[in-house]
Each structure stands twice: as C-alpha cells, then as structure tokens.
Structure 1
Amino acid sequence: MKISRPFIHSVLAFAIVMLFVQCNKKNNTTEKSAKTPAAQTTSISGKLPIAYVNIDSLLQKYNYAKDLNESLLRRAENSRANVNEKGRQLEKEMAEFQRKYQNNAFLSQERLQQEQQRLMKKQQELQEYIQRLEDENMREQQKMLSQMNDSIINFIHEYNKDKKYEAILNNASTLYIDPSYDITNEIVDLLNKRYVKK
C-alpha cells in the first residue's frame, strides 16, 4: 500500500522516457524532409541541432511534477490511515469475541456462530476495501502521470517550433551527451512559468 518517492520518480521518469521516444518517432515519420549532408546539419557554432533534457532534474524541479507527487503521497497516506483505522476496529471486535468465547459469554452455539460469521464477513469486506483503494490509487497515479506527460510533451512541441532542433533527447537512454546540449533548466523554467497551481 505504501508508495515510495523513489518508486514514483522511477515511474514518472520511465513514462516520460517512453513518451519522448514515441514523440521523436512521430516527428521522424510526420516531418520527412530532404536530408542534408552531415556537414550542413551543424550550426554555425559547430553544434549539432540536438538537445537533451535530464529527466531526473526535470521531475525534481518541475512544480507540476512535485505537486502531483505530493498529491499521490497524500492520497496514499489517507488510504493507509483509513485502512489502519478499520483494521484497528476489526482487531478490537475480534479481541472482544475471543474474550467472550473464553468466558463462555455466548448464550448459545448459534449466537457464537453468528458472531464468527459476522467477523469473517467484516474481515473479507476490509480486504475488498483495501483492494479497491489500491486499484483507485493506481488509476489515479496513471491518470496523473498521463496528464504530466502530456503537459511536458505538448510543451516540448511548442518549444521546438522556435528552436528548430532536429532531436530533443532524454539523458536516461544515452550513455554520454556533451553537457552543452543540456536544455533542462531552460525547459524547467519555462514549464514552471507556464504552470499555474490549481
């Protein structure tokens, strides 16, 4: 039930990586232009027309990602608190049942069985409630990831209309990229300026 920050960051990073890959593939198929010799694709400064974004830094600095992460953690904490409260209540009732059983406090065998069945049903309902909460939390997490990914990908498309990069990569899927191609801070600053907290 516990969702840890590293797990959420990993999931977010993986989702963004996958979307960047899909985005780059889509750009390559939809924008087929005449290929130029390699010597002509470099800019006057001698740099290739590419850039990259450091996904980990983006997730740590992008206010929307931080807010979503906090929201997921709050939701998980609330769920855990609800489950713990229901669990404590059930434990109390089971302890009371055990005490009555040991003291022969039930008026009849039928009453004993009724109370046993009631507690078993309550235990099953608690397990179903836990599963329902986990499913809801997972759906909410996926929805939030999708919203954040859409936000970043749409922004990258808009950003690149002016910048005209041939490729914007993510550092998570590369072994080495010259740091001068890093546009992470610029992207984060622009994303944060655009983001309005709800």
Structure 2
Amino acid sequence: MKKMNVLKGLLALAVVFLFAQCTDNKGTSTEASAPAVAGTNMKIAYVEVDSLLTKYRYWNDLNELMIQKEENIRTTLNEKAKELDGEMREFQRKLENNGFASRERAEQENARLLQKQRDLQQLQEKLYADLQAENQKNSLQLRDSINSFLKVYNQKKGYSLIISNTQLDNLLFADKSLDITQEIVDGLNARYTPSTKK
C-alpha cells in the first residue's frame, strides 16, 4: 500500500506541473466576471488539484483499478510465499529427521527451494515494475485528458494563466473568485465516459 501512496503522490505532482503548462491563451474574449490582474489585461485563475483529483471520475476509476491490481498482486505473491514457506518447513523437517535418501538429494531439494525463492523475488519485482509502468501510463493519460480539456475550456474563457494549487504549493493566498476548480471538474466529468471493461 505504501507503493501506491507514493504513486498517488507522484501522480498529484505530475498534475501540478500540468497546470503550469496549460497557459495557452487561444481565446480573445474577455468576460466581465473573470478577474484580471490590476493594471493589466491578464486574466488569472487557479485550480485546487487535490479537489480536482478527488472529484474527477476518470481519476477515481483509474485509482480504483490500480488499487485493485495492487491487491491482486499482493494476494498472488502472498499465496506463492505461503506455499514456498510450507515447502521450506517441510524440507527442514525432513532434513532434521533424515528423511532424504542421500545428501545429494537434500542438496538438490535445497537448490530447488532457493531457485523458487529467487523466482518469487523476480516475480515480485516484475509485477511491481509493470504496475508502476501502468501507473505512469495512466498519469500521462490523466494529464492529456486535463490538458486537452483546458485548451478547449480556455478558448472560451481566455485566461492568460491558470495556476495549480495544492497544500504544498507556493500559492499562499488567492481570492476564491479566481478558483475555477468546480468548473474544470464539471467539464471533465461531462466529457468522461466510463469504460465498461475492467
């Protein structure tokens, strides 16, 4: 579970950087309700990334799928480790009771169990590497989803700058009228069609 929390943190960090890149000002319309920086025509807004991630259904579905996959990996590894542990105990019992026909046979069994242990370790590394790769792919898809939405959204709104805000960001204060988080969440969720395959 610790690995998944780290992956979630990395994903949140990726989304933070995403908003720094989403300042494309293709729209030229200005709205009276959109705040502008005093003395300029620059329109600025911010998005609460934590709120966005908790409310965006696509992210929640991805997150649920990744947690399920991690749990499946953990279950598979635990079953194999339990099986190996049982075989090792049986080997130890037979060794203590002279249950092997020869020393060579005991050494062969020991070598087999050591190889099985190495195979289990390799399997664990592979499964978690695959999970991490899939999580990175999901992070890119999430970023692309938000980026493409913000480009369309900003054509109508005409912001010069959209800033991300998380609990650890440098944004110490912002007027709540600049917060467009709910608009972004609503727009993203309206575009999202859940996949029927899982």
Normalized against structure 1, the TM-score is what? 0.86
Q: Provide the secondary structure at the position in 2 that maps to 1:74.
A: helix
Tell me what 1:193 maps to. 190
Q: Provide the secondary structure at the position in 1 that maps to 2:162.
A: strand
- Out of 42, 50, 63, the position equivalent to 2:57 is 63
Q: Provide the secondary structure at the position in 2 that maps to 1:53.
A: strand
CA distance in 1, matches of 2:13, 2:2: 20
Alignment length, in residue pairs? 184
Deviation at 1:86, TM superposition (A): 0.5
Tell me what 1:11 maps to. 10
Tell me what 2:40 maps to. none
Tell me what 2:35 maps to. 47
Deviation at 1:78, TM superposition (A): 0.3
CA distance in 1, matches of 2:103, 2:123: 30
Q: Give unpaired runs (5+ residues) of structure 1.
A: 34-41
CA distance in 2, matches of 1:94, 1:50: 64
Contact persistence 2:31–2:157 (CA under 8 A): no
Amino acid in the other structure paired with 1:192:
N
Q: Provide the secondary structure at the position in 2 that maps to 1:105.
A: coil
Q: Deviations over 1:128-173 (max 9, x none)?
A: 0011011101100000011011000110011000111111111233
Q: Deviations over 1:56-75 (max 9, x none)?
A: 00000000010011011001
CA distance in 2, matches of 1:166, 1:46: 11
Larger relative contact order (CA 8 Å, sep ≥ 6): 2
CA distance in 2, matches of 1:108, 1:164: 82
- Residue 131 of structure 2 corresponds to residue 134 of structure 1: no
C-alpha distance 110-82 of structure 1, shift in aligned 2 (>3 A): same
CA distance in 2, matches of 1:196, 1:46: 30
Contact persistence 1:53–1:170 (CA under 8 A): yes
CA distance in 1, matches of 2:34, 2:136: 41
**Cα RMSD (Å) of the superposition?**
2.0
- Out of 66, 71, 87, the position equivalent to 1:72 is 66
CA distance in 2, matches of 1:113, 1:171: 61
Q: Give unpaired runs (5+ residues) of structure 2.
A: 37-42
- Residue 113 of structure 2 corresponds to residue 156 of structure 1: no
Tell me what 1:106 maps to. 100
Amino acid in the other structure paired with 1:62:
Y
Contact persistence 2:20–2:162 (CA under 8 A): no
Normalized against structure 2, the TM-score is what? 0.86
Deviation at 1:43, TM superposition (A): 6.3
